[in-house]
Structure 1
Amino acid sequence: MKVKGKVVVVTGAGSGLGQALVLELLRRGARVAAVDLRPEGLEATRTQAGTMAQGLSLHPVDVADRLRVEALPAEVEAFHGQVDGLINNAGIIQPFKRLWELDPPAIERVMRVNFYGTLHMTLAFLPRLLARPEAHLVNVSSMGGFLPVPGQTAYGASKAAVKLLTEGLWAELQGTPVRVTLALPGAMRTGIAQHSGVEAPQAGEGAKIPLLEPDRAAKILLDAVERDAFRVLLGQDARTMDLFYRLSPLWATRLIQNRMRHLLG
């Protein structure tokens, strides 16, 4: 789906990849409904948009709140008149601890935001997307959704759920106007740890992993949307580890375990 002239909803739009997606969509001639838990983040996105902000609406929403999410499509349509696309990007990480060291509420919080937030948004907007001549759904999973990362097992499980949800939707939506793209980012320069309330080393420290800049990732992802790609890997690390994991899941898992063990002390 070409995004010019379309209305696209983006979650997690107050920082990082979400903010970069909003700005790139506006540059490409789309109108955007920006969704984020933090009003101050949304205002920062509006400031970054500058003169492009006339095509932007701001929606402070907790995507884990199903009832609040169910009211959102009508709000977006009231402002923009239509909805043609949805990018489920909002997500958080867990504290960098082994699974058995986590409190159950920490695990539940990750699942509520990453999986149920994506599910709530998808179910709320899908009827609108199906009514359009053409539409697009993007779910942002993670390299951690196909490759286990020590200290992020619950996070990885939530993103693996998003991965399979998205692939299932791709199959179920064949023959409809809605195309589906699965995004799998690797290490990226974002504030996800801070916004998750987690103290963590930078993704590249110790493990020497190159960090993908959000603006570059946004361009790659939207290029994939415009060619109706089934999946898109964001970052050289994601592409490399996708290949390694396909060749030998055990070897790839051992490699990541050895390179990331510093995160757990």
Structure 2
Amino acid sequence: MEKIICDEIRRFVREDAGNRFPGREERYFDEPLIGFAAADDPLFTEYKTVIGDFHFTPAEMAAQLAGEGDRHLRSQSPESGWTPRTVICYVLPITDATRASNRPETMYPSRAWAQTRMHGETFNGALRRHLVSFLAAAGHRAFAPQFHPCWKEYSDTPVGIASSWSERHAAYAAGLGTFSLNDALITPRGIGHRLGSVITDLALRPSQKPYAHRTYNCLFHRNGTCGACITRCPVGALSKEGHDKQICRQHVYGTVPQAVGETYGVTATGCGLCQTRIPCESRIP
């Protein structure tokens, strides 16, 4: 069943028209990376300490679906008491051409990067919904945490801005990558990507976690070298001490859309400067 699910995710990414720039054949994302985490992996409980007690475990999210009516969340009629078995996670790598377009930029993202952030994330949502429907057709319960009615973003926590479900931390639990100095996830396809997850009662074989610790893929954390992402940030949100989420957020969600959003024809732009022209852009360095 693991192969069937992987094949279907790859097929959707390859064939769906939503993974295309407007009026062009070029895609937002290359072939995805896919991993599976056991829903009862102790990491999900640990995240309530690492991130905050507001971060849900898969079981807590499943329990709160009883009585909710969003057809995009659940694969069957409301029912309490079902047990999630697996968190299916995937990485959507941004194409090499879009990464290349962002490398020369020094203040704002390229047009292709901004369009990928907005329209590519819309496609990501469609993939989440498709995977839920695919599992439902096979007789399994499933939902996408990102569309869960209890999903919430918190602006003032001990770790800064955080949400009640982290796609990055789910992907880490599924063996897809480790964290970087700039708080992104370094995967075998690098750091430029979008992430998604779906929780299901289908029991699948968990993926191995091929790393020694949670920041192993980052050269700065691994052996004290690099730090290239620090100099790429145009607003000083990165330092050897880490990532200032508030400064970063003000630039990405305030300054950048105001400056180039209308020109690019998008309302969400991203930034991605610290994810390009660095050693971990497209691989584990």
* TM norm. shorter chain > 0.5: no
TM-score using structure 1 length: 0.30
Q: Which has the larger radius of gyration?
A: 2
Q: Whose RCO is larger (CA < 8 A, sep 6+)?
A: 2
